[in-house]
Amino acid sequence: MKLYVVKTGQSFIVKAWLALLLVVCLPQLAVAQAAVPPPPEVAARGYILMDFNSGRVLAESKSDERMEPASLTKIMTSYVIFKEIEAGHVKLSDMVTISERAWRMEGSRSFMRVGTQVPVEVLLKGMIVQSGNDASVALAEHFAGGEEVFASLMNQQAQALGMSGTHFVNATGLPDPQHYTTARDMALLTRALIRDFPEHYKWHAIREFTYNNITQHNRNKLLWRNKSVDGVKTGHTESAGFCLVASAQQDGMRLISVVLGTAGENERAQESDKLLGYGFRFFETRRLYSALQSLSTVRIWKGEVEQLSLGLPADLYLTFPRGSYNDLKAEMRVENPIIAPAAKGQRYGSVNITFLGEPVVAQPLIALNAVAEGNILQRAMDEVRLWFQ
């Protein structure tokens, strides 16, 4: 990929025609459409299909309407606990005493016996694979002293992740009027789970788990039907219907699907598989630039050195219709003149991506290194040069 620098007034325009494309797209990105068929009909109360890397939504219906999450709640329960483990507040080997309340939990269970001590890791796997409500409550009590306090931690984390349509009152997903979410929020949560805890996320692909001499299978049927699927979580109550958050990866592209309120176990798997197939068939995602990669070295004036490297603060990805790679164009706009001092991370322009002539994403260009102000002679000489510029 070649860069061409053109000086125009108070800016440099660095144009790049993408011969190997690709870029981070913001979650709200709306790419101009090439010849892509509409999404399939999905038999669910609400659904969404999102690309993991770019955050682009490829299909959705009623994705912002409040709905019951049922046991999809446990994705957040896991997320909160994984953060506690990462912070060093607890270990996977720590023992948890099973309370009578946890033992008596209704719904899906891991069959933990009251009064026994169970390692945190076993409880997590019981919750993730077997969807054990007893394991969920035992973990909530151990980490926060009670499920109500733990729910407040869940809500704090939901707010931090931008889950504006979600509120939790328990760690299990049992029905409550004040316990709700949206398909979009579940996709955002799942994206964060996979990104922040890749090692623990692998547990969501476990097909069966045995505890207390009882073996239970993961209820996510796609783990058997679709080899690219490696998670994530099922949910069901009479009022919520059958729900599934699924994630799959093919050729480096990862998708997340959420279906809420389908008619049965087979239906939630079938509708999820339908969405994932649509995404992989008609779209592709590529990375153009890596975080903190030097994209351009520009002149900085009145500094102790004359060159400043510019790059992006995060990986830049784009999701676009399959086969339309050559319709993408990148342009870097750089401030001119840049005067020292320059702080590392300071913004000095932007990278702008267009698709079929339509803008799709802009990312800030930042200084990759700091440049201090030059001495008196350097500043004076550059002042003269700038005058002639």
Q: Does residue 35 lie within any of the structural domains?
A: no
Q: Does residue 211 lie within any of the structural domains?
A: yes
350 is catalytic: no
Last residue in a domain, options 247, 262, 277: 262
The rounded distance, in Å, linking the Cα atoms of 315 and 157 is 24
- Give yes or no: residues 126 and 226 share one domain: yes
Q: Does residue 188 lie within any of the structural domains?
A: yes
- Give yes or no: residues 176 and 75 share one domain: yes
Q: Tell me how far CA of residue 131 lies from CA of 194, 305, 326, in angstroms.
A: 18, 59, 45
- pLDDT band for 325, please (50, 70, 90 cuts): confident
Range with the poorest average pLDDT among 27-31, 49-53, 254-258, 266-270: 27-31
In the predicted model, is pLDDT for residue 94 greater than 80? Answer: yes
> Of the listed 54, 131, 247, 257, which one is catalytic?
131
> Of the listed 54, 71, 78, 136, which one is catalytic?
71
- Domains in the chain: how many in total? 2
Q: Does residue 187 lie within any of the structural domains?
A: yes
74 is catalytic: yes
How crowded is the C-beta side of 219, counted as CA atoms within 13 Å?
A: 23
- Give yes or no: residues 329 and 220 share one domain: no
Cα maximum dimension of the chain: 84
- Give yes or no: residues 10 and 53 share one domain: no
- Give yes or no: residues 237 and 373 share one domain: no
**Residue 327 domain boundaries:** 4-27+288-388
In the predicted model, is pLDDT for residue 23 greater than 50? Answer: no
Domain CATH for 368: 2.60.410.10
Domain CATH for 60: 3.40.710.10
Q: Does residue 245 lie within any of the structural domains?
A: yes
pTM: 0.89
- Give yes or no: residues 103 and 172 share one domain: yes
272 is catalytic: no
- Give yes or no: residues 84 and 199 share one domain: yes
For the chain, what percent of residues have pLDDT higher than 70?
91
